[in-house]
Structures are given as structure tokens and as C-alpha cells.
């Protein structure tokens, strides 16, 4: 049994009862339990099995803090003023119609959302500088209810941000092992921002659409797929347990690294990629430019690209992340990205939406 206090118009009364566990269909790193008067949300550490990354105790802002609550970071809900450190979480709030809750952003140069850029220019949203070393005084001036940032393995913490007594919401959904597991964190953010019903129905729409698309694919014809390209001196290929690696399989593609057990990227030398995926039927990559990339430009980037079968067969598709909302949308709308993959890999399937992110070179 758990001892807790229920909020009764500002009064607190100690009661004993069990909490109600919120059931998540796909997300594995989240657990949420409701008690009468507060909610406990626990995030599992994706890098240390069985360890907790962070525990939050969510208490309505019009209630007093109950005397008997578990240890954790207290967040008063619904959040009304939040500091967002990533473009994807800005876009997520816009999809929940909670963009007016954004009081400040970090890494503005990476936020490709016109509305956010306009609000910063008008002085309605604060630009707090670089995400790795933000201007802490500017953050304090904004008096945010919470700061949303992405945790990384062995990051060494958040420096001065940990000293200013503003809750840090660690957005670890990118470490979920399935596209729908990642997208289901929408429901957690809905609880934080007081729009739970909207978040639940949006996720339900994503879930249904994703599975309906997946069901359109037969298992017979599975073109092999090469992903991304050389960065610096290495080729980062998505691991077999990554959300992109899994989506290729859901789209009826054969991914050469499907049996790899990494959920992040794997860095490989060019030769290793050529050996394993040189005969891949389709090549999909992301790039950053102000114009559509050509075969000539691609070939000039690396002299070995023309050795790939997909290059020779002119079956290459690029996604320009500067001019498409790939990073903003796809984490919480994996169904839209799956549509692109199926359309590219299975042009024989009818009834799909036009390509949203990728373009044939």
C-alpha cells in the first residue's frame, strides 16, 4: 500500500490506496502511476539496465504539495512556461497545440520552424544560446516551469542547469527501440502540459496509421536498402535495433544490418559498407543543402560511391533536412516516414500519400 495525500481544494488529507498504473502499449522506458492528487513518472536509464534515469512527481499547480510523496523532482502541472532545447520537442508541442507554452529555446540555428523563428524575432520567445552552454541568466529571467533537454550516455550532467532549481525533463524517447515506442512518449508530454486527451488521441491516430501501412506490405518482394553516407572518415549506419533500421523492415525492405543489436548508429569504414551493401537495390540518405543534390555532386563527395549498385542503377533518394521537416516530424509521426519508405520500396502499392521527405535524385 502507498501512503499519499489527495488535494481537496488546497487541503491535504492522508489516505492509503494503491496507485493506478498507466498502460503503455510500446514505450518501454516510461512508467506512470496515478495517485489521488499526484502522478509519479519514472524514466528508465537506457544505458544502465534496471536503473532509473529520473523520477518526477507531478502535482497540480493549484494544490499544496502533499506531505507523503516519493522522492523525485517535483513538477507543478500543467506546464505553462517551458524552455525547449530541441527542434523536435518544439514541433511536438505545436502538434499538441501547446506552442504558447514555449518561453525560450536553445540552439535556435537548428530549429527549422518558421513560427518559432518569428516569435524569437518579436521577442516573445527567448533565445538562450547554445544548448551545451546556455546563458543561464536568460533562462532564470524567463522563470520557466521546466527545461526540456536530451540526455546522453556519459554526458557528465548538465552543469549550471542543475544548480538553478528548475526541473529538468530528460527527453530519452530517442532511445526507445521501436518507432511507436518513441512516438508514445507523446502521452507523457500530454500529462505534463495538461492536454492528455489530445495527446492520447493523436498517438492512437499514429498507431493505427502506422500499422495499417505496415499491413499493406507483403513479405515476398523485399528490396535491400542502404542508408545514409560517409561523414568525415566513417559511415554511420543505423543499428539493427534503431527505429530507422526497424522501419525499413516494417516497410518491406531487407536491411543488411538487421541482425546488428545496436539501437544507435554503428560507425564503419567505407570498405565494410561497400562489402556488405554494395549490391543494395535502393540507397536512401539524409543531407543538408539549399538545393537538390545531383549524382555528379554525390560522386564528387566520395570517389567510391559509384561502386554501389543503387548508384549505377540510379535508384538513389535523398532527404534534405534543411528544406524538409524530417527531424521535426518523424520522431512523433513515424507513420509519415513509413509511408515514404513503402512508397520508395514498393511503388506497386496503391493508395499511399506522395513522398514527404525523400526525393529521387
For 154, other C-beta atoms within 10 Å of its C-beta total 5
> What single-letter DSSP state applies at residue 194?
T
Q: Looking at the DSSP assignment, which residues form a beta bridge with residue 54?
A: 43
pLDDT tier for residue 28 given thresholds of 50, 70 and 90: very high
Residue 18 confidence (pLDDT): 82
Nearby residues of 248 by Cβ (< 8 Å), 6 or more positions away:
225, 227, 255, 341
Determine the 3-state secondary structure of 15 from DSSP. strand
Local structure of residue 64 (DSSP, 8 states): P
Q: Which residues pair with 100 in a beta bridge?
A: none
Q: Cα(147)–Cα(84) distance, rounded to whole angstroms?
A: 6
Residues 6 or more apart in contact with residue 171 via CB below 8 angstroms: 86, 89, 148, 149, 150, 151, 185
Residue 87 CB-half CA count within 13 A? 19
Could you report the per-residue pLDDT of 128-156, keeping only the tens digit for each? Answer: 999 999 999 999 999 999 999 999 888 88
Summarised one tens digit per residue, pLDDT across range 30-50 is 999 999 999 999 999 999 999
Burial of 322 (0-12, 13-18, 19+ CB in 10 A): exposed
Long-range Cβ contact pairs of 194-202 (< 8 A, separation 24 or more): 194/77, 194/78, 194/79, 195/78, 195/96, 195/97, 195/98, 198/96, 198/97, 199/96, 202/95, 202/96
3, pLDDT greater than 50: no
Angle separating helix axes 243-250 and 334-345, nearest 10 degrees: 50
Q: What percent of the chain has pLDDT over 90?
A: 88
Amino acid at each position: 500500500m502507498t501512503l499519499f495525500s489527495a488535494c481537496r481544494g488546497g487541503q491535504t488529507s492522508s489516505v492509503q490506496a494503491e496507485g493506478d498504473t498507466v498502460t503503455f502499449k510500446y514505450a518501454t522506458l516510461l512508467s506512470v502511476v496515478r495517485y489521488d492528487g499526484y502522478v509519479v513518472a519514472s524514466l528508465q536509464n537506457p544505458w544502465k539496465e534496471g536503473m532509473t534515469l529520473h523520477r518526477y512527481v507531478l502535482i497540480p499547480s493549484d494544490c499544496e504539495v502533499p506531505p507523503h510523496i516519493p522522492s523525485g523532482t517535483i513538477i507543478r502541472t500543467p506546464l505553462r512556461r517551458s524552455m525547449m532545447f530541441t527542434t523536435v520537442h518544439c514541433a511536438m508541442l505545436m502538434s499538441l497545440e501547446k506552442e504558447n507554452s514555449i518561453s525560450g529555446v536553445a540552439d535556435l540555428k537548428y530549429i527549422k520552424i518558421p513560427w518559432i523563428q518569428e516569435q524569437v524575432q518579436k521577442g516573445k520567445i527567448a533565445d538562450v544560446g547554445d544548448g551545451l552552454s546556455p546563458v543561464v541568466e536568460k533562462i532564470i529571467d524567463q522563470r520557466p516551469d521546466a527545461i526540456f533537454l536530451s540526455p546522453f550516455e556519459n554526458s557528465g550532467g548538465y552543469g549550471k542547469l542543475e544548480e538553478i532549481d528548475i526541473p529538468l525533463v530528460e527527453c530519452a524517447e530517442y532511445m526507445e527501440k521501436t518507432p511507436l515506442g518513441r512516438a508514445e512518449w507523446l502521452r507523457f508530454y500530454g500529462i505534463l502540459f495538461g492536454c492528455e486527451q489530445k495527446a492520447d488521441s493523436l498517438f492512437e491516430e499514429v498507431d493505427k496509421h502506422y500499422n495499417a501501412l505496415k499491413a499493406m506490405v507483403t513479405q515476398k518482394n523485399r528490396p535491400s536498402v542502404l542508408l545514409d553516407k560517409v561523414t568525415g572518415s566513417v559511415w554511420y549506419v543505423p543499428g539493427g535495433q534503431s527505429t530507422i533500421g526497424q522501419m525499413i523492415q516494417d516497410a518491406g525492405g531487407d536491411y543488411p544490418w538487421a541482425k546488428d543489436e545496436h539501437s544507435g548508429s554503428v560507425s564503419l569504414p567505407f570498405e565494410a559498407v561497400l562489402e556488405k551493401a554494395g549490391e543494395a537495390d535502393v540507397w536512401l540518405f539524409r543531407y543538408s543543402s539549399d538545393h537538390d543534390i545531383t549524382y555528379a555532386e554525390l560522386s564528387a563527395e566520395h570517389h567510391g560511391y559509384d561502386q554501389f549498385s543503387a548508384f549505377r542503377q540510379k535508384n538513389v533518394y535523398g532527404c534534405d533536412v534543411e528544406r524538409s521537416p524530417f527531424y521535426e516530424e518523424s520522431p512523433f509521426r513515424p507513420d509519415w516516414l513509413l509511408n515514404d519508405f513503402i512508397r520508395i520500396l514498393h511503388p506497386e502499392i496503391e493508395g499511399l500519400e506522395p513522398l514527404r521527405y525523400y526525393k529521387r535524385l
